[in-house]
Amino acid sequence: MNPGYDQIPTYPIHPKNMLQFLLDLRLFFFPVNCLVCGRRLSSPGEILCFTCECLMPKTGFGEKVDNPVSQTFWGRVPVVLATSLFRFEKGSAYQELLHDLKYRGNRNAGLYLGRLLGHELTHTAFAKCDLLVPVPLHPGRLRQRGYNQSEIIARACGEIMGIPVATKLIIRRGRHRSQTSMGRQERFENVCEEFTLCKRPRDINGLKVLLIDDVITTGATLEACSRVLFTHFTCQVYVATVSCA
C-alpha cells in the first residue's frame, strides 16, 4: 500500500456548490425542455428557450385604450384599461404554456407567465394600481386542481410590480357549467351569480384594482368580478390577463 495514500487531504463541499451540483444532477437525469420547441434548457426554472420567448406573439397593447381587450368591456362595465400579454391561437405551440399550467400541474409555467406579465406592465398605467386581485376558483375545483392558476400568475406579477395581492377579496360560491361552447350572453348568465365579496372585505374605496386572470375570451368572468367590486366600492378597475383568445 502506498504509505501516503491515507494522507491525501479532503475538502468540504460548500453548500452553494452542493446545491448547484444537485441541480446539475437533476438536469442530467430529468432534463427540462422548452414547452414550445422542445429544445433542452439549461435551468430547471426555465420554461421557454430564449428564441421562443422572443417569438412569443405578444399583443403590444400596453396603454392603448382602444385595444381589443379593452373593447371587450365597452358598454358593459367601466373598466379603465385592459390588456393581455399574448394572443392565444388554437393549435399554436404557445398554448402549451397555459395547458401545462391548468391541466398538468406545472406551477412554474404560472410563475414564468406572471413575471413576464409583470415586466410588460411595469412601465405602464397598470403599475399605478394599488392592489392585484386574481379571479378565484370554486373551492371544489381548487381542491381538485390543488391551486388557482390565476393566483399564481398574480403573485408572480405582483412581485415584479411591487403591488400586494388580495386573494380572498372576491370569492366564488357557485360552480358553473363548462363554457367552452357558450356565446358571450350565455357565459355571462352562467357566471353572473357566482361571485361575491368575502365576509369581512377590506376597504378598497378610492383604490385602483387590477383583476388578473389567465385567459380572456368573451370577458364574462372578469365582467362578473368587476360588477362585484363596483357594487360595493367606489374604485377603479383594470384588467390584465396572460392571454386573449
> Which candidate, 165, 163, 171, 134, places its Cα nearest to that of 150?
134
- Which residue, among 45, 53, 51, 11, has the nearest Cα to 26 in the 3D structure? 45
The pTM assigned to this predicted structure is: 0.82
Could you report the per-residue pLDDT of 39-96, keeping only the tens digit for each? Answer: 988 876 788 999 999 999 999 998 899 999 999 999 999 999 999 999 988 778 888 8
Long-range Cβ contact pairs of 179-184 (< 8 A, separation 24 or more): 179/217, 179/220, 182/218, 183/218, 184/218, 184/219, 184/220
Domain segments of the chain: what residues?
A: 14-55, 57-244
Closest by CA position to 204, among listed 240, 154, 164:
164
Residue 119's contacts (CB-CB under 8 Å, 6 or more residues apart) are: 160
Q: Which of 26-30, 32-36, 76-80, 187-191 has the lowest mean pLDDT?
A: 26-30
| HSE, side-chain direction, 13 A CA sphere, residue 72 | 26
Q: Pick the residue with more confidence: 225 or 191? A: 225
- Taking the C-alpha atoms of residue 42 and residue 34, their distance in angstroms, rounded to an integer, is 10
**Res. 151 pLDDT band, cuts 50 70 90:** very high
C-beta atoms surrounding 128 within 10 Å: 12
Tally of residues, the chain: 245
Q: What is the dihedral of CA 19, 21, 23, 29, to 10 degrees?
A: -150
Q: Which of 3-12, 111-120, 150-159 has the weakest average pLDDT?
A: 3-12
SS (H, E, C) 170-219: EEECCCCCCCCCCCHHHHHHHHCCCEEECCCCCCCCCCEEEEEEEEECCC
Task: Locate all alpha helices (DSSP H) within 78-195, ordered by sequence.
Answer: 95-103, 107-121, 139-145, 149-161, 184-191
Please report which confidence band the pLDDT of residue 12 belongs to, taking 50, 70 and 90 as the band edges. Answer: low
- From CA 189, how far away is CA 191, in angstroms rounded? 6
- Do 95 and 86 meet the contact criterion of CB atoms below 8 Å apart? no
For residue 138, the 8-state DSSP code is P
pLDDT surpassing 70 at residue 190: no
213 CB burial (10 A radius; 0-12, 13-18, 19+): buried
The CATH number given to 57-244 is 3.40.50.2020
C-alpha span between 167 and 230 (Å, rounded):
18
User: Three cell numbers at 84?
Assistant: 393581455
